[in-house]
Homo-oligomer: A and B are copies of this chain.
Amino acid sequence: MSELTLVQAVNLALRRALEDDPSVVVFGQDVGRHGGVFRATEGLQQHFGSRRVLDTPLAETMIGGLAIGMAAQGLKPVCEIQFLGFLYPVLDNLANHAARMRTRTQGRIACPMVLRVTHGGGVHAPEHHSESIESMIAHIPGLRVVIPSSPRKAYGLLLAAIRDPDPVVFLEPTRLYRLLKENVEDSGQSWPLDRCDVLKEGSDLTLVSWGAMLTEVMEAAGVLAERGISAEIVDLITLKPYDAETILRSVQKTGRCVIVHEAARTAGFGAEIAATLAEHAMTALLAPVERVTGYDVVMPLPRLEREYMPSVARILKACRRALAWK
């Protein structure tokens, strides 16, 4: 058991998977000798050799395409796309092939691959390095989309993703990479996919979020607690397939829901959650659902990124509106 950052937990899970399963192959740009631009794969090539951990040429479409072919041949490709802004070219292979290989061959060929990508902004990164397009990916049938919010979850979820027989897009919140340490046991234990995690129980209001935004959400809940308001916090964890049950159960209890995400509002994943509530929680809702999201503008360069991303103040404002509703 050791105190690890999220990126170290990712590294540990990769190490464990490479150790346990000879079919696991890790590849991507700069993941080998360099150990990845964020050091997520640090030391892996040195330890497992360059047949298990491979540097690729600079071509994202290729990375996705290779993974599909490798997976069809019984390997477990675990590949890295350096930033979510560079995932777009991979969507073709993800949607047209990875996600549908199993069904279009009626189970003859499967596509157990994991695509790791950093997610989100707030780290003063260059243009295109701060995207959060999870809802686009989560729209694709046949995929899984997972996003951890802590080192322990990162470890367990990544193992689960690697062991899953279907293609998984694994989003790693860049802002959390080195923000916090947590005790992570290298137990080989995976964390269940497809299930939300109630981070904090509460009775007055449900806060739903995922990834790095949970930092602000937790902080907002703290402020609310000082004011005697008890917020329940749900970490979505898996966007696809997604666990509506847990959220519905929470909102049945609290009657109020604020959804927080960094991605642009329109057709963001918050819409799906709000829609689920509109369909299945009408009688329970005591106030309109609130979404606190990035604006429908291009993610700005670093100087304005904090203005773009939901702040604790904006979350609190939405909470206040939801709580004020009688």
Contact = CB atoms under 8 A, between A and B. Distances in A.
B289 A278 contact: yes
A270 interface: yes
A84 B131 CA distance: 23
Contacts of A162: none
A267 interface: yes
A180 interface: no
A213 interface: no
Interface in A242-268: 242, 263-264, 266-268
A298 B128 CA distance: 29
Given A96-B128, A264-B139, A271-B267, A103 B298 contact: yes
Contacts of A99: 298
A317 to B, nearest CB: 14
A95 interface: yes
A201 interface: no
A266 B242 contact: yes
B285 A282 contact: yes
Interface stretch (A3-11, A47-55, A85-93): A85-93
A127 interface: yes
Contacts of A241: 266, 296
A272 B267 CA distance: 5
A266 B272 contact: yes
A277 interface: yes
A183 to B, nearest CB: 34
A94 to B, nearest CB: 8
Contacts of A288: 278-280, 282
A267 B92 contact: no
Interface string A167-201: 00000000000000000000000000000000000
Contact of A89 (B92, B271, B272): B92
A124 interface: no
A85 B97 CA distance: 11
A135 interface: yes
A298 B94 CA distance: 12
A320 to B, nearest CB: 15
A270 B271 CA distance: 9
B280 A138 contact: no
Contacts of A116: none
A133 B290 CA distance: 25
Contacts of A135: 135, 139, 267
A274 B266 contact: no
A61 B89 CA distance: 9
Given A271-B274, A275-B289, A282-B287, 12 more contacts: A61-B89, A85-B96, A88-B96, A89-B89, A139-B267, A141-B298, A275-B278, A278-B289, A279-B289, A279-B291, A282-B285, A282-B289
